[in-house]
């Protein structure tokens, strides 16, 4: 069954660049049946969004700033999210913001059984990140666009380095789901990694998938096995024996 998603975008807090890539990313997780963006459209800083809204069928929601220093957009998004939740028209939400003010909203939606995907910049505070089922950095989508468009220079976009902390996280996760011989199905490892750390994404390190990321690390060994269904290859991983 296709999952219907409500996409709510904080226009005051998210850059307009790479909207196309962002919507393509969201489509991987479900069908975005509701797409709304919130902001004060009388302000010039949102002018870049206006042409993109029609192209991507995103509905702008006007929200005036009633008081200086207060973000009325946050309140409008939260109220709409709860209205959509009670309408029972969607199975999940995609909250597009780098603002930690949506942490409680993400938590509340998950308490109601909703899948919650977050999209924001790398400056996003950790409480909002961990409140989501999965969190995707906009910078990843930006890097993907550069890779496809900037083929002439072949400039490799900047990516995060794999740290010892990352390796320990992967190693402990493999151990958690491994059989008696230490082998773990990579699909199970990926699912558990996502639960432990919602912003864990192989693309952060310059790899399209988890398998090549694991292969690049000397701490683990990979084994491909033929599955029962249609002879599909299943990838297993375990810690290298010292």
CATH of the domain at 173: 3.30.420.610
Q: Nearest CA to 77 among 22, 38, 135?
A: 38
Structural domain boundaries, residue 168: 164-239
Lowest mean pLDDT among 87-96, 129-138, 212-221, 227-236: 227-236
Helices (H), 7-96: 19-27, 47-55, 72-87
Among 115, 149, 183, which residue terminates a domain?
149
Q: Which residues touch 180 (CB under 8 Å, ≥6 apart)?
A: none
Pair (168, 235) in one structural domain:
yes
Residues 232 and 226 sit within 8 Å (Cβ to Cβ): yes
In a domain, 97, yes or no: yes
Q: What is the pLDDT of residue 80?
A: 95
pLDDT value, residue 52: 87
pLDDT, one tens digit per residue, over 127-143 is 999 999 999 999 988 76
- The pLDDT value recorded for residue 158 is 53
Residue where a domain stops, chosen among 121, 149, 177:
149
Say yes or no: 136 and 59 in one domain. yes
Whole-angstrom Cα distance, residue 61 to residue 88?
Answer: 21
Residue 146: band (very low, low, confident or very high) from pLDDT cuts 50, 70, 90: low
CA 44 to chain centre: 28
Q: What share of the chain in percent tops pLDDT 90?
A: 61
Q: Does residue 134 sit in the same domain as residue 24?
A: yes
One domain for residues 121 and 193: no
121 and 14 in a common domain? yes
Instruction: Give me the mean pLDDT over the 170-184 stretch.
Output: 94
In angstroms, the CA 28 to CA 51 distance is 24
Residue range 47-59, pLDDT digits in tens: 888 888 888 899 9
Q: What is the pLDDT of residue 153?
A: 46
Arithmetic mean of pLDDT, 190-213: 93
Is the backbone of residue 165 left (phi > 0), alpha (psi -120 to 50) or beta? alpha
Based on the structure, what is the number of domains in the chain? 2
Q: Are 123 and 219 found together in one domain? A: no
What pLDDT does residue 81 have? 96
DSSP states of 191-242 as a string?
HHHHHH-TT--GGGGT-SSHHHHHHT-TTEEEEEEE-SSTT-EEEEEEEPP-
* Dihedral, 190, 191, 193, 196 alpha carbons, nearest 10: 180
Residue 107 resides in a domain: yes
The order of strands in the sheet holding 233-239 is 184-185, 233-239, 220-226
| Chain position carrying tokens 């209205």 | 83
Q: Tell me, yes or no, whether 36 and 141 share the same domain.
A: yes
Task: Return the HEC string of 97-162.
Answer: CCCHHHHHHHHHHHHCCCEEEEEECCCCCHHHHHCCCEEEEHHHHHHHHHHHHCCCCCCCCCCCCC
């Amino acid at each position: 069954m296709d999952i219907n998603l409500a996409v709510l975008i904080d226009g005051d807090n998210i850059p307009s660049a790479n909207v196309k890539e962002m919507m393509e990313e969201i489509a991987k997780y479900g069908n975005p049946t509701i797409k709304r963006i919130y902001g004060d459209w009388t302000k010039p800083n949102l002018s870049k969004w206006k042409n993109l809204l029609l192209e991507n069928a995103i509905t702008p929601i006007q929200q005036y700033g009633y008081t200086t220093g207060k973000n009325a957009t946050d309140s409008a998004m939260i109220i709409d999210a709860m209205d959509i939740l009670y309408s029972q028209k969607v199975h999940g939400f995609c909250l597009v913001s780098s603002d930690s003010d949506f942490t409680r909203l993400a938590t509340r939606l998950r308490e109601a059984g909703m899948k919650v995907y977050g999209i924001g910049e790398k400056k996003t505070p950790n409480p909002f990140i961990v409140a989501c089922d999965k969190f995707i950095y906009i910078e990843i989508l930006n890097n993907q666009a550069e890779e496809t468009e900037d083929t002439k220079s072949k400039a490799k976009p900047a990516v995060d380095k794999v740290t010892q902390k990352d390796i320990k996280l992967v190693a402990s996760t493999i151990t958690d789901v491994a059989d008696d011989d230490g082998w773990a199905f990579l699909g199970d490892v990926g699912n558990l990694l996502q639960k432990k750390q919602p912003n864990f994404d192989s693309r952060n390190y310059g790899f399209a998938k988890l398998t090549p990321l694991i292969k690049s690390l000397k701490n683990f060994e990979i084994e491909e096995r033929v599955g029962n269904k249609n002879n599909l290859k299943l990838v297993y991983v375990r810690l290298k024996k010292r």
